[in-house]
Amino acid sequence: MTRPATARWSLLLFVLPALAIYVMFAVAPLVSSVVMSFFNADRTLGSVFVGFENYIYLFTEPVVSARFWNALVNNIKYFAIHVLVEVPIGLLMAALLTSGALRRSEGVYRTILFIPATLSVVIVGFIWRLIINPLWGVVGFPLLGNQMTALPTISLMGVWQYVGIPMIFLYSALLAVPNDLVEASRLDGASPWRTFWDIKFPLIVPQFGLIVILTFIWTFNGFDLVFALNGSAPGPNYSTDILGTYFYRTFFGSSGQVADLDLGATVATVIFTIMLLVTALYFWLVQRRLRAHTV
Amino acid sequence: MTSLAGYKPKPVADDRRWTAERVLVHVILLGFVVLALGPIFVVIINSLKTTPAIFGGPFSLPTAETFSLDGYVRVFTRGNFIANYSNSLIVTVSAVVLTVLLSTLAAYALVEYRLTALVPILTGLFLIGVMLPIRLGTIPIIKIMVAWGIMDTLLALILVYTAMSIPLAVTLMMTYFRTVPTELKEAARMDGANEWQTFLIALPLVRPGLAAVATVTMLPIWNDLWFPLILAPGKANQTVTLGVQQFVGQFLNDYPALLAALTLGAMPLVLLFTVFSRQFISGLSQGYSK
What is the value of ipTM here, to two decimals?
0.90
* Shortest Cα distance, chain B CAs vs residue A225, angstroms: 9
Clarify whether residues B61 and B83 are in a common domain: no
Is the model's pLDDT at A63 over the cut of 50? yes
Residues 209-238 of B with CB under 8 A from A: 219, 222-226, 229-230
Interchain CB distance below 8 Å, B133 and A220: yes
- CB < 8 Å to B109, chain A: 10-11, 13-15
Are B115 and B30 in the same domain? no
User: Residues A269-282: what's their mean pLDDT?
Assistant: 94
Mark whether B48 and B112 lie in a shared domain. Answer: no
A114 closest CB neighbour out of B129, B245, B277: B277
- A82-107: average pLDDT: 92
The domain of B94 spans: 77-288
Q: Mark which residues 126-185 of A lie under 8 Å from B by CB.
A: 126-128, 130-131, 136, 160, 165, 168-169, 171-173, 175, 179, 182-183
| Residue B266 resides in a domain | yes
- Report the CATH number that the domain containing residue B184 is assigned in CATH: 1.10.3720.10
Contact of A210 with chain B, judged by CB distance below 8 Å, is answered with yes
List C-alpha distances in Å: B290 to A16, A91, B210.
23, 20, 18
Question: Virtual CA dihedral for A216, A218, A220, A225, nearest 10 degrees?
Answer: -130
Q: Tell me, yes or no, whether B94 and B230 share the same domain.
A: yes
B249 plus B155 within the same structural domain: yes
Q: Give the DSSP letter of residue B124.
A: H
Partner B, chain A 40-79, Cβ-Cβ below 8 Å: none
Q: Count how many Cα atoms sit within 13 Å of the Cα of residue A83 in the half-sphere of its side chain.
A: 19
| Beta-carbon separation of B167 and A26 below 8 A | yes
Asked whether the predicted pLDDT for residue B152 surpasses 90, the reply is yes
**Percentage of residues of chain A with pLDDT beyond 70:** 95
Q: What is the mean pLDDT of chain B?
A: 86
Superfamily of domain A55-294: MetI-like (1.10.3720.10)
A26: contact with B, CB 8 A cutoff: yes
Using 50, 70 and 90 to split pLDDT, how confident is the model at B284? confident
Distance, CA of B15 to CA of A213 (rounded, Å): 40
Does some domain include residue B26?
A: yes
Contacts of B222 (CB under 8 A, 6+ apart): A120, B88, B92, B239, B240, B241, B268, B269
Confidence of residue B267 (pLDDT cuts 50, 70, 90): confident
Phi, psi of B49 (to 5 degrees): -120, 165
Between B49 and A160, the more confident residue is: A160
Is residue B102 over pLDDT 80?
yes
Question: What is the pLDDT averaged over residues B238-255?
Answer: 82
> Is B14 a domain residue?
no
| Same domain flag for B30 and B169 | no
- Provide the number of structural domains found in chain B: 2
B4 within domain boundaries: no
- Give yes or no for B11 touching A (CB within 8 A): yes
In this predicted structure, the answer to whether residue B143 has a pLDDT above a threshold of 90 is: yes
Min Cα distance A60 → chain B (Å) is 22
Task: From B45, B34, B58, B262, select the one nearest A137 (Cα to Cα).
Answer: B58
B46 and B132 housed in the same domain: no
Using an 8 Å Cβ cutoff, are A168 and B285 in contact? yes
Same domain, B152 and B273: yes
Residue of B nearest to A264 (CA): B139
* Residue % of chain B over a pLDDT of 90: 42
Instruction: Considering only residues B179 and A294, tell me which one the structure prediction assigns the higher pLDDT.
Output: B179
Structural domain contains residue B12: no
Q: Domain coordinates of chain A in residue numbers?
A: 4-49, 55-294
How many CB atoms within 10 Å of residue B138?
24
Do residues B258 and B200 share a domain?
yes
Segment B113-119 long-range contacts (CB within 8 Å, at least 24 positions apart): B113/A2, B113/A7, B113/A8, B113/A10, B113/A11, B115/A4, B115/A7, B116/A4, B116/A7, B116/A8, B116/A11, B118/A11, B119/A11
- pLDDT above 80: residue B243: yes
- pLDDT of res. B1: 39
Together in a domain, B47 and B169 = no
Mean pLDDT along residues A52-66: 92
Read off the pLDDT of each residue in B258-270 and give the average, rounded to a whole number.
85
- pLDDT score, position A136: 67
Same-domain check for residues B26 and B161: no
The sign one gets for the Cα dihedral A36, A41, A46, A51 is negative
* Last-in-domain residue among B34, B49, B68: B68
Q: Is A281 on the interface with B (CB under 8 A)?
A: no
Asked if the structure places residue B9 within a domain, the reply is no
Q: Are strands A46-49 and A39-42 parallel, antiparallel or unpaired?
A: antiparallel
pLDDT-based confidence at residue A43 (cuts at 50, 70, 90): low
CA atoms within 13 A of residue A65's CA, in its CB half-sphere: 9
Q: Within the 44-63 window of chain B, which residues sit less than 8 Å (CB to CB) from chain A?
A: 58
State which H helix or E strand residue B180 sits in: none
Q: Are residues B189 and B51 both part of a single domain?
A: no
Give the residue on A whose Cα is nearest the Cα of B270. Answer: A118
Instruction: State whether residue A111 sits within 8 Å of chain B by CB.
Output: yes
The helix or strand, by DSSP H or E, that contains position A49, with its residue range, turns out to be strand A46-49
- Residue B165: pLDDT above 50? yes
Q: Is residue A125 within 8 Å of A228, Cβ to Cβ? A: yes
